[in-house]
């Protein structure tokens, strides 16, 4: 198994927040705290250290007490730009990425992604969770921003982005990528809910705290 101290957590907070009207999503309130700070507190027990990927309001994020790095790619190039920044600044063998707008992710996320890597002999692992379908059923769907990556993938990702690649799943398809399924008895069906809009954020705020 991968030791906790060998994993650096990365909170992805570098987006435009376009579907929230352009606000800085990571600084919007969730249960009385900025989303990114709530995410930080949920992530810290699972990893050895944490850093944040952000592209504005850097002094505010730095006040959370962890390193903050802006994207090296121009023009808000998406979460894969955050992956690249995280790998460039990671000093541990593994990097765990989580978005700032999915604050209910599982408290055992790191452990289960690490187990999937070990079991499947992979260089990265991606979470997958059930998603409600229009017919009332559910389908297991990958959650590409919840990833555990070997930091040795840095050069491969750098080359992928130099060639214009911007999709996490397209890059992951080129790697030995394990899938960790979060559909077991006791798993929270809301764990991977995210807030892309202010209405979705209000829905998350209205959920009872565990």
Q: What are phi and psi of 171, to 5 degrees?
A: -70, -45
Q: List the beta bridge partners of residue 121.
A: none
Whether the Cβ atoms of residue 167 and residue 80 lie closer than 8 Å to each other: yes
Burial 139-162 (b: 16+ CB within 10 A, else e): eeebbbbbbbbbbebbeebeebbe
Is pLDDT of 106 > 70?
yes
What are the structure tokens assigned to 154, written together? 């840095």
As a whole number of Å, the end-to-end CA separation of the chain is 28
Is pLDDT of 76 > 70?
no
Q: What is the pLDDT of residues 8-66, one digit of tens each?
A: 999 999 887 777 888 899 999 999 999 999 999 999 999 999 999 999 999 999 999 99
Q: List the beta bridge partners of residue 177.
A: 124
Q: What is the pLDDT of residue 133?
A: 74
Helix axes 79-89, 154-162, angle to 10 degrees: 140
Q: What is the pLDDT of residue 77?
A: 72
What mean pLDDT value characterizes the chain? Answer: 93
Q: What is the pLDDT of residue 209?
A: 75
Q: What is the pLDDT of residues 140-198, one digit of tens each?
A: 999 999 999 999 999 999 999 999 999 999 999 999 999 999 999 999 989 999 998 88
Q: What is the pLDDT of residue 20?
A: 84
pTM: 0.94
Confidence band for 75, pLDDT divided at 50, 70 and 90: low
Q: How many CA atoms lie within 13 A of 90 on its CB side?
A: 30
How many residues does the structure list for the chain?
A: 210
Pick the CATH number of 4-204 from 3.40.50.300, 3.90.79.10, 3.90.550.10, 1.10.260.40: 3.90.550.10
């Amino acid at each position: 198994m991968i030791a906790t101290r060998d994993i650096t957590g990365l909170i992805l907070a570098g987006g435009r927040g376009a579907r929230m009207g352009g606000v800085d999503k990571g600084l919007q309130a969730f249960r009385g705290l900025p989303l990114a700070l709530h995410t930080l507190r949920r992530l810290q027990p699972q990893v050895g250290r944490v850093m944040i990927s952000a592209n504005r309001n850097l002094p505010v994020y730095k006040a959370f007490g962890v390193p903050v790095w802006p994207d090296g790619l121009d023009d808000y190039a998406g979460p894969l730009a955050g992956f690249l920044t995280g790998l460039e600044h990671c000093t541990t063998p593994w990097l765990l990425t989580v978005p700032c707008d999915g604050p209910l992710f599982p408290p055992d996320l790191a452990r289960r992604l690490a187990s999937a890597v070990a079991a499947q002999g992979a260089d990265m692992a991606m979470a997958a969770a059930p998603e409600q379908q229009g017919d009332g059923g559910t389908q297991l769907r990958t959650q590409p921003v919840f990833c555990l990556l070997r930091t040795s993938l840095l050069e491969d990702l750098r080359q992928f982005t130099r060639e214009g690649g911007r999709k996490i799943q397209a890059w992951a398809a080129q790697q030995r990528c394990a899938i960790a399924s979060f559909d077991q008895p006791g798993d929270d069906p809301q764990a991977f809910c995210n807030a892309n809009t202010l209405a979705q954020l209000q829905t998350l705020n209205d959920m009872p705290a565990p």
